[in-house]
Structure 1
């Protein structure tokens, strides 16, 4: 009996080269997961206004946009089949603003995958608003495909002491096991103290040892669950974003958590997540914690 397909890997398609790069990555990921690859083009019917042309009717405009979106999906499907010939590919044109549509898709997806910039953006500069919005609000992990992943490079995950971060760590271990690559768990901490007069009295080597012990204890449950994954804990005295971006140059995937589901935390991404999404040189996964039940 054939293995049952997992929940779909969803890709946001807009016809840009960035979305085609995301499609290539997502196709390989869907094949690894034995999951459907769902290509989604989101178009806001009521927001389209042709410039310099006479009004030709709302239905004509809608059909024109729909044909263009279907062509973008055809091109993406061809890219997907070339990257992963065995992938089961679905295509869908949905009405609505892209962040809203992809947020809805995330409620039924294993993963949402996006490029860094949409059509009309300046590739390589600031991250697109759609990617930021989806990463901040999606109900499943979101991968933004930046640069080119290092071949057989490790999965790098940023680790902090919050309970919300635990899901990101679990996702990173699962990806490392799926790819059969090592995992590097990075925890960054600061030597700053509130009172500068107390700084000479602090035993910094003991503080470093305590941070290393805490990281090893946090990883222990995942090491037992994934015994085949070689996990390397790394504790540095540095800004977390800077260390993670530096390690992205040799990584296959970089995983970070988000602020979570609180009334404020769920509204925006954390500063580390945003910095990594803007500057990393490999695909970045943003993993939000599951809401409390």
Structure 2
């Protein structure tokens, strides 16, 4: 049996992450390591140990059979937490959205954590509540989402929900100089991106014969495409490049738009090891 690392800082968002983990391990047993990253004086340790123990007891109350360990480690975010999660199935943290940083897992730190982590990172917004809905994955055209696609398919099967593959496209620049040329270019672009999406659907149905797969092709930017699907999803899954930055299908501000604003759980999956 594998284990999940829950990054915990005592905030409301961290409590939502704890609820997400409890919901998951109640149906898919896994050990839980509750990690508190502390950069502190020795006198603060009893306070941190107390709220970590309270969180552990809350998790055990939700899932009595869960094996829960506490690990209080000295260091700095996000590197220390990322290293603590090596070998885990998942790293789960909470984060506040639509607000200034109110916990160590907010904003840019969360983005850096997803860039550093060698395991999938689930970012759970404060106030999260379970939702019975498809698992949505953002499909890139450059292969950077391959691991995310496979992760999302397994997650959808485990939840007993459909897998929704969302792919977006926009016209390349510069545009043709005539209306007829623009129309022809748009049809060609649409066909090319439809082929990318169809290939992904075929691959997932072949790998998982019992999986229901939905395909969504959106003419919009990637952040808008995923945002439009998020409220109808139990989880939104995205991928990264091996160089660690959220690039490719997610470019700069797009990643920030999703992680900082989307009020739904996001899972960022690193590429598979070569």
The answer to whether the Cα contact below 8 Å between 1:167 and 1:288 also exists between their aligned partners in 2 is yes
The answer to whether the Cα contact below 8 Å between 1:43 and 1:97 also exists between their aligned partners in 2 is yes
Per the alignment, residue 18 of structure 1 pairs with 13
Structure 2 residue 83 is the aligned partner of structure 1 residue 83: no
Separation in 2, partners of 1:285, 1:216: 23
1:31, distance to aligned residue in structure 2 (A): 3.6
Cα gap change, 1:249/1:130 in structure 2, threshold over 3 Å: closer, same or farther?
same
> Structure 2 length as normaliser, TM-score?
0.88
Per the alignment, residue 182 of structure 1 pairs with 162
Per the alignment, residue 217 of structure 2 pairs with 235
- Where 2:78 maps in the other structure, the secondary structure is helix
Structure 2 residue 35 is the aligned partner of structure 1 residue 40: yes
Cα gap change, 1:78/1:70 in structure 2, threshold over 3 Å: closer, same or farther?
same
> Structure 1 length as normaliser, TM-score?
0.82
- Where 1:289 maps in the other structure, the secondary structure is coil
Separation in 1, partners of 2:193, 2:116: 31
Map 1:76-225 onto structure 2 (within 5 A): 76-117=55-96, 127-146=106-125, 147-149=127-129, 151-197=131-177, 200-202=180-182, 203=184, 204-225=186-207
1:201, distance to aligned residue in structure 2 (A): 1.3
Cα gap change, 1:188/1:150 in structure 2, threshold over 3 Å: closer, same or farther?
farther
Structure 2 residue 235 is the aligned partner of structure 1 residue 253: yes
The aligned length equals: 265
- Where 2:136 maps in the other structure, the secondary structure is strand
Structure 2 residue 271 is the aligned partner of structure 1 residue 276: no
The answer to whether the Cα contact below 8 Å between 2:167 and 2:225 also exists between their aligned partners in 1 is no
Cα gap change, 1:83/1:250 in structure 2, threshold over 3 Å: closer, same or farther?
farther
The answer to whether the Cα contact below 8 Å between 2:60 and 2:66 also exists between their aligned partners in 1 is yes
Separation in 1, partners of 2:197, 2:266: 22
Cα gap change, 1:274/1:189 in structure 2, threshold over 3 Å: closer, same or farther?
same
- Where 1:157 maps in the other structure, the secondary structure is strand
Higher alpha-carbon Rg: 1
The answer to whether the Cα contact below 8 Å between 2:38 and 2:72 also exists between their aligned partners in 1 is yes
1:194, distance to aligned residue in structure 2 (A): 1.5
1:117, distance to aligned residue in structure 2 (A): 4.2
Q: Which runs of 5+ in 1 are unaligned?
A: 46-60
Per the alignment, residue 271 of structure 2 pairs with 289
